[in-house]
């Protein structure tokens, strides 16, 4: 009589940062950063500083919402860096010339839409690489902005800066506008056919096309929306500062890309959420307002490590799967050998 001991030969899963959702990781670092700077400075969590952080983050958020749609669809938009200053300069010129604020806003958004349609033409229809196209668009739009402004800073009439005025308490109108757009785009991505088709286009364009998704229309839509939101961000900046120039918002492109990637979006497309983008923008906003500059780099280092772990998730899972299969095959071979020996 033989007593066989049944053992579990399945490989043991070890803890890995790659298994933690990116939103959870970045949210954790956001809490750590807020707690750290609150302890470092008693003025960090004051209402005035909190309003400054939210107000600064709202401009980045407007741009990041459009960038998020483009990234989920499988592209990226670098032309934001030219649309923002162009929109601010156009808005300043129109309001100074006597245009009403709503009329100037409408025409400025139309300018942004024109840039988005140009990106659509070259990227979606002519199949030119998004990097090359949006870099070229950035150069063109930024050059037009500098030309219109004449290399100077233009002033914006105080009555035209209503978006920068306080609406409820210390919160300005543009923050309320940003919150409304965040809620709207979250609902669009999570609960509409259009949102699902954006994910399908970014995840597998060919499969989406075969499934009946009009991928060209989806691509054109996201680039147009991104450009319009960038134009809106330019108007908000001009309203906040009551000034506009060809160099305003110079770093906003990289900030928007960093925010959406921090929030869990994949540059390969098909993944990303509005909630994740909000957390990424808030993290950047807090770090920009940090009272101790060097700590920003110290906090940023583990964030990069976490992103590296998340970015290698696919490779890690594939490696783990290969290892598991090898171990299973080895255990099966050993078991067959033992059984042959007993016979």
Q: Is 157 a member of any domain?
A: yes
How far is residue 271's CA from residue 72's CA, in Å, rounded to a whole number?
Answer: 6
Let me know: does 60 contact 252? Beta carbons within 8 Å: yes
| Whether 281 and 323 share a structural domain | no
Q: What is the largest CA-CA distance in the chain?
A: 101
Question: Which residue segment(s) compose the domain that 319 sits in?
Answer: 313-337
Q: Are residues 283 and 325 in the same domain?
A: no
Q: 3: pLDDT confidence band, cut at 50, 70 and 90?
A: low
Residue-level pLDDT at 31: 84
Q: What is the pTM of this model?
A: 0.81
Residue 123 sits in the same domain as residue 58: yes
206 and 289, same domain (yes or no): yes
Residue 56 has pLDDT above 60, yes or no: yes
As to burial, measured by CB atoms within 10 angstroms (0-12 exposed, 13-18 middle, 19+ buried), residue 135 is middle
296 or 100, which is more confident? 100
Cβ-contact 38, 291 below 8 angstroms: no
Residues 210 and 330 occupy one common structural domain: no
- Domain check: are 288 and 319 in the same one? no
Specify if 170 maps to a domain: yes
pLDDT digit string (tens) for 215-235?
A: 899 999 999 999 999 999 999
Shared domain check, 230 and 330: no
What is d(CA 246, CA 244) in angstroms, rounded to the nearest whole number?
7
Arithmetic mean of pLDDT, 50-61: 87
Q: Are residues 222 and 330 in the same domain?
A: no
**pLDDT tens, 18-38?**
556 667 777 787 888 788 878
Region 126-151: what's the mean pLDDT?
A: 92
Asked whether the predicted pLDDT for residue 244 surpasses 70, the reply is: yes
**Pick from 185, 69, 204, 70: which is nearest to 133 by CA?**
70
The tally of domains found in the chain comes to 2
């Amino acid at each position: 009589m033989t007593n066989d001991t049944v053992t579990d030969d399945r490989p043991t899963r070890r803890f890995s940062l790659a298994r933690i959702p990116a939103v959870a990781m970045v949210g954790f670092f956001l809490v750590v950063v807020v707690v750290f700077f609150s302890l470092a400075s008693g003025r960090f969590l004051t209402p005035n500083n909190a309003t400054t952080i939210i107000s600064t983050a709202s401009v980045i958020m407007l741009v990041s919402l459009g960038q998020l749609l483009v990234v989920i669809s499988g592209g990226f938009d670098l032309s934001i860096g030219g649309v923002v200053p162009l929109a601010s300069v156009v808005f300043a010129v129109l309001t100074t010339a006597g245009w009403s604020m709503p009329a100037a806003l409408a025409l400025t958004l139309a300018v942004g839409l024109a840039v988005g349609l140009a990106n659509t033409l070259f990227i979606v229809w002519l199949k030119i690489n998004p990097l090359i196209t949006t870099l070229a668009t950035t150069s063109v739009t930024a050059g037009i902005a500098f030309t219109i402004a004449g290399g100077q800073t233009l002033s914006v009439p105080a009555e035209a800066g209503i978006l920068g005025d306080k609406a409820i308490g210390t919160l300005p109108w543009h923050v309320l506008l940003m919150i409304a757009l965040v809620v709207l785009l979250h609902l669009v991505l999570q609960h509409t056919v259009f949102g699902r088709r954006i994910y399908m286009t970014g995840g597998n364009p060919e499969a989406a096309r075969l499934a009946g998704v009009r991928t060209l229309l989806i691509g054109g839509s996201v680039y147009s929306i991104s450009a319009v939101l960038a134009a809106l961000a330019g108007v908000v900046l001009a309203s906040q500062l009551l000034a506009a120039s060809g160099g305003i918002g110079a770093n906003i492109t990289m900030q928007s890309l960093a925010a959406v990637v921090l929030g869990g979006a994949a540059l390969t497309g098909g993944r990303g959420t509005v909630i994740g983008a909000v957390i990424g923008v808030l993290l950047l906003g807090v770090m920009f307002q940090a009272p101790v500059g060097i700590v920003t780099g110290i906090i940023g280092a583990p964030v990069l490590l976490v992103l590296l772990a998340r970015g290698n998730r696919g490779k890690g899972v594939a490696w783990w799967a290969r290892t598991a299969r090898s171990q299973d095959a080895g255990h099966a071979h050993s078991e067959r050998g033992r059984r042959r020996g007993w016979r």
